[in-house]
Amino acid sequence: MVNYIKLRKGLNIPIDGVPQPQIIKSIVSETYALKPTDFKGLIPKLVVREGDAVLAGTPIFIDKQRPEIKFTSPVSGVVSEIVRGEKRKLLEVRIKADSQIEYRKFDVPSVESLTPEQAKELLLESGMWAGIQQRPYGIIPSPDVDPKAIYISGFSTAPLAPDYDYTLRDDLDNIQTAVNVLSKIVPNKVHIGLNALTHASSILHKIKGVEFHIFDGPHPAGNVGVQIHHVCPVNKGDIVWTIDIQFLAIIGRLFRKGICDYSKTIALGGPRVKNPGYIRCIGGFSLSNISDLTASDNLIKLQENCDIRYISGDVLTGTNVGKDGFLGFHDNQISLITEGNYKELFGWAKIIRPKKFSLSKTYFSWLTPSKRYKMDSNLNGGPRAFVLTNKYADVLPMDILPVYLIKAILAKDIDKMEQLGIYEVIEEDLALCEYICPSKIEFQQILSEGIELMIKEMA
């Protein structure tokens, strides 16, 4: 019997620019980047130098504390630049790609004869282990610790999120292979969450050897953390692995072809995109290719005196990488919105604001529930005193008190943080709390600092 879970709390943000099921472009970038900053808690150690030639699948850097965990190049080419920040912190390793990608070949045994040790060794050597995340904390798991379950969300409810039934329509065999491999490591404990609106027609419904759970509700119903909370909650001492569904297809290609093929189909959307849709690319490509499409394909809406924010990821949790930045390792979408670097005269005092969305019915957006808004990055105010309100709980479908958790983190009270559920959440789970916050409190940043404190204290 399939487990059906109805979630009533949450919020679908009605932002304009929803990607349509069409391939806009297949992008071949001149430069790609692998960014250590995409991996929480990582202390990287370089194993290449500028000028070194690499193949797709060649290690670029390793985890200094766990050198068996490797991070490999998405393309073949030459290491063109190593970008460092303050105190020589490693930010990016840029690779100038070959015109024709050459792959490092891995010796892959048949899945039927594969042992758990062989599966782990190949995932580590190929760099695919970096695509696995651990709850609690959202970090890369230790290969020596077996999880109590592996959880995969088969859909996303984030703003402008890709439709995985569309992007993965040709990858069912790869996903099934990856599931078979993971079942070798953690037998009979692979779970997949599906959307109640589309599960019957979803290609993911055809996957065998997994336990399905059907979720019905608004965002963040698609967040893997919310789904874990309702299926196999993470308590102190528990370990659960999570894997992005698109990355599952990449793992499947490794075990079917013996190569690291990081190609994927990502969503391109947002109010500044004229024809929202999908892009075929290789992970880590340069977003300068998106900005270059302005003139050639008339893709981006141009406005005078308005800058564009290029976000790798969704508008709630993504990273502002700029027009010359690179797609993040875990990101499956690019969002383009207008920079909100302006001030609105008497904006707070206006009663009728038809172009603004309001959760609290301050404006009349609740009368037009199907309307989408050209939202930008303007905060509409600055930080202020922490207002106690029950609105945070209205958008978080978890048995967690977000205000008290955030206050415990600010007080650095480890015991309270444990009691209030810090093992069950990462930044994306509290993103809606930050979005609706009348006090402009940076929930995600505070939670990130709390997780770092927990990792340090519990090590």
Task: List, for residues 50-107, the tens digit of each pLDDT value.
Answer: 999 999 999 999 999 999 999 999 999 999 999 999 999 999 999 999 999 999 999 9
| Residue 221, token pair as written in the block | 């119903």
**Do residues 397 and 220 make contact, with C-beta atoms less than 8 angstroms apart?**
yes
Q: Are residues 342 and 398 in the same domain?
A: no
Q: Are residues 323 and 435 in the same domain?
A: no
d(C-alpha 304, C-alpha 306), whole Å: 5
255 is a domain residue: yes
Q: Are residues 335 and 425 in the same domain?
A: no
Q: Are residues 433 and 331 in the same domain?
A: no
376 is a domain residue: no
386 is a domain residue: no
| Residue 30, token pair as written in the block | 């001149």
Question: What is the structure's pLDDT at 362?
Answer: 75
Give the chain's radius of gyration (CA, Å). Answer: 22
d(C-alpha 246, C-alpha 264), whole Å: 7
- CA distances to 138, 342, 403, 410, 419 from 416, rounded to whole Å, are 20, 40, 12, 11, 5
Picking from 285, 320, 351, the residue at the C-terminal end of a domain is 351
**Domain span at 429:** 391-458
Q: 296 pLDDT band (50/70/90 cuts)?
A: low
68 is a domain residue: no
Question: What is the structure's pLDDT at 303?
Answer: 59
End-to-end, the C-alpha distance of the chain in Å comes to 40
- CA distances to 165, 195, 433 from 379, rounded to whole Å, are 34, 31, 14
Q: Are residues 346 and 396 in the same domain?
A: no
Mean pLDDT of 210-215: 96
pTM of the model: 0.95
Q: Are residues 395 and 287 in the same domain?
A: no
Q: Are residues 14 and 133 in the same domain?
A: yes
382 is a domain residue: no
Q: Tokens 């001492």, residue?
A: 237
86 is a domain residue: no
Q: Are residues 293 and 412 in the same domain?
A: no
Q: 355 pLDDT band (50/70/90 cuts)?
A: confident
User: ∠7-359-316 over CA atoms, to 5°?
Assistant: 75
Question: What is the structure's pLDDT at 188?
Answer: 82
Which residues pair with residue 62 across a beta bridge? 45, 70
51 is a domain residue: no
Q: Are residues 334 and 232 in the same domain?
A: yes
Picking from 351, 378, 413, the residue at the C-terminal end of a domain is 351
Q: Are residues 172 and 234 in the same domain?
A: yes
184 is a domain residue: yes
Q: Is 241 exposed, middle or buried (0-12, 13-18, 19+ CB in 10 A)?
A: buried
Percentage of residues of the chain with pLDDT beyond 70: 96
Q: Are residues 346 and 422 in the same domain?
A: no
Question: What is the structure's pLDDT at 72?
Answer: 98
Q: Are residues 198 and 322 in the same domain?
A: yes
Total structural domains within the chain: 2
